[in-house]
Copies of this chain bind each other. A is one copy, B any other.
Amino acid sequence: MSAPRVLVTGASGFVGRRALAPLAASGFEVHAVGRGASAPAETPEGVRWHRADLLDAAARARLLSRVGASHLLHLAWYAEPGAFWAARENAAWVAATIGLLDEFAAAGGRRATLAGTCAEYDWSAPQPLAEDSPLAPATYYGACKDATRRVAEGLAQLAGVSLAWGRIFFLYGPREDERRLVASVARALAAGERAPTSTGLQRRDFLHVDDVAAAFAAILASKAEGPVNVASGEAVTVRSIAELLAGAAGRPELLDLGALPDRPGDPREIVADIARLRDEVGFAPAWTLQDGLAATVDWWRSELR
- A residues with CB within 8 A of B: 57-58, 86-88, 90-92, 94-96, 98-99, 101-102, 140, 143-144, 146-148, 150-152, 154-155, 158-159
Cα of A144 to Cα of B148 in the assembled complex, Å = 9
Other A-B pairs, 7, CB within 8 Å; known A91-B154, A95-B99, A144-B151: A57-B57, A87-B158, A90-B154, A91-B101, A91-B102, A95-B96, A143-B151
| List of B residues within 8 angstroms of A87 by Cβ | 158
| List of B residues within 8 angstroms of A86 by Cβ | 158
Cα of A159 to Cα of B87 in the assembled complex, Å = 10
| List of B residues within 8 angstroms of A96 by Cβ | 95
A158, B88: Cβ atoms closer than 8 Å:
yes
Sample of 24 A–B contacts (CB below 8 Å):
A57-B57, A57-B58, A58-B58, A87-B158, A88-B102, A90-B154, A91-B98, A91-B101, A91-B102, A91-B151, A91-B155, A95-B95, A95-B96, A95-B98, A95-B99, A95-B102, A140-B158, A143-B150, A143-B151, A143-B154, A144-B154, A146-B150, A147-B148, A147-B151
| List of B residues within 8 angstroms of A158 by Cβ | 86-88, 140
A232 to chain B, nearest CB (A): 29
Cα of A99 to Cα of B88 in the assembled complex, Å = 12
Cα of A280 to Cα of B148 in the assembled complex, Å = 32
Cα of A158 to Cα of B92 in the assembled complex, Å = 13
| List of B residues within 8 angstroms of A146 by Cβ | 150
Cα of A33 to Cα of B241 in the assembled complex, Å = 56
Closest to A100 in B: B95
| List of B residues within 8 angstroms of A91 by Cβ | 98, 101-102, 151-152, 154-155
Cα of A159 to Cα of B143 in the assembled complex, Å = 16
Given A95-B94, A150-B143, A88 contacting B58 (CB threshold 8 A): no
| List of B residues within 8 angstroms of A58 by Cβ | 57-58
| List of B residues within 8 angstroms of A88 by Cβ | 102, 155, 158-159
